[in-house]
A and B are shown apart, each in its own frame.
Chain A
Amino acid sequence: GENVEQHPSTLSVQEGDSAVIKCTYSDSASNYFPWYKQELGKRPQLIIDIRSNVGEKKDQRIAVTLNKTAKHFSLHITETQPEDSAVYFCAATNYGQNFVFGPGTRLSVLP
């Protein structure tokens, strides 16, 4: 089955710097990769996703890149702000199969 690893487990950056979180997956059949953000005390929310026919997707300060050959995908946050502090989860799925999450990355943006 699918296995998703996520690194780093914790990440601290200065406000204004960029943050990068990387996930690797094992099942080459996986074709959809969403990212979730969970702020302290709040419910998880989908922030961006990417499908396997696309190499990169951007939404304002957030971007996701996918390398199918290497089976890894990354979340990039530029110009980080204190409100970006949260736990971020990546996931991988092949439609019709299990939806596997990474263990999460706790991002802290220091003012």
Chain B
Amino acid sequence: GAVVSQHPSWVICKSGTSVKIECRSLDFQATTMFWYRQFPKQSLMLMATSNEGSKATYEQGVEKDKFLINHASLTLSTLTVTSAHPEDSSFYICSAMSRNEQFFGPGTRLTVL
């Protein structure tokens, strides 16, 4: 099946710095990618829908200036957490659409000190 990778798998950063997470579809092109975040003891919640070549669509309550999404190519979407703070520490996972099927990445754990 289709493979989606994320990089890095784990990142630790200082408060105030920015962190970029990459989501790649390895063997297919994805016009749409989704970004999720897992809150403590809760399920994954959709943050935004990333469409290649256009602006991302953010879910209600998600700050677009805080979580910058760039989908510059059909195989790569990036999520940048700007001016990260400890409350941004979480598990972030992406998924990519291919022929109306969705494939999930392995996730990225962000820890902000």
List A residues at the B interface (Cβ < 8 Å): 32, 34, 36, 38, 40-41, 43-46, 49, 87, 89, 91, 93, 95, 98-99, 101, 103-104
The answer to whether A99 touches B44, judged by C-beta atoms less than 8 angstroms apart, is yes
B102 within 8 A of A: yes
Residues A44 and B95 in contact in the complex (CB < 8 Å), given A95-B40, A99-B107, A104-B101: yes
Report B38 CB to chain A, min CB distance, Å.
6
Assembled-state Cα–Cα distance A104/B104 (Å)? 10
The answer to whether A43 touches B49, judged by C-beta atoms less than 8 angstroms apart, is yes
Query: Which residue of A has the minimal Cβ distance to B49?
Result: A43
B68 within 8 A of A: no
Assembled-state Cα–Cα distance A83/B41 (Å)? 30
What class of interface size applies to chain B in its complex with A? 20 to 34
Assembled-state Cα–Cα distance A89/B102 (Å)? 9
Q: Contact string, B21-34, partner A, CB cutoff 8 A, digits 1/0? A: 00000000000001
Query: Which residue of A has the minimal Cβ distance to B59?
Result: A43
Q: Which of B1, B46, B101 contacts A87 (CB 8 A)?
A: B101
Question: DSSP majority for the B interface?
Answer: strand
Q: Which of B40, B41, B43, B49 contacts A46 (CB 8 A)?
A: B43
The answer to whether B43 touches A98, judged by C-beta atoms less than 8 angstroms apart, is no
Q: Give the residue among A41, A87, A91, A98 with the most B Cβ atoms within 10 A.
A: A98
Residues A44 and B46 in contact in the complex (CB < 8 Å), given A98-B106, A99-B107: yes
The answer to whether A44 touches B102, judged by C-beta atoms less than 8 angstroms apart, is yes
Query: Which residue of A has the minimal Cβ distance to B108?
Result: A98
Report B97 CB to chain A, min CB distance, Å.
9
Give 14 A-B pairs besides A32-B41, A93-B38, A99-B93 with Cβ atoms closer than 8 angstroms. Answer: A32-B43, A36-B44, A40-B100, A41-B100, A44-B95, A44-B102, A49-B43, A91-B43, A91-B44, A98-B91, A99-B38, A99-B44, A99-B107, A104-B102
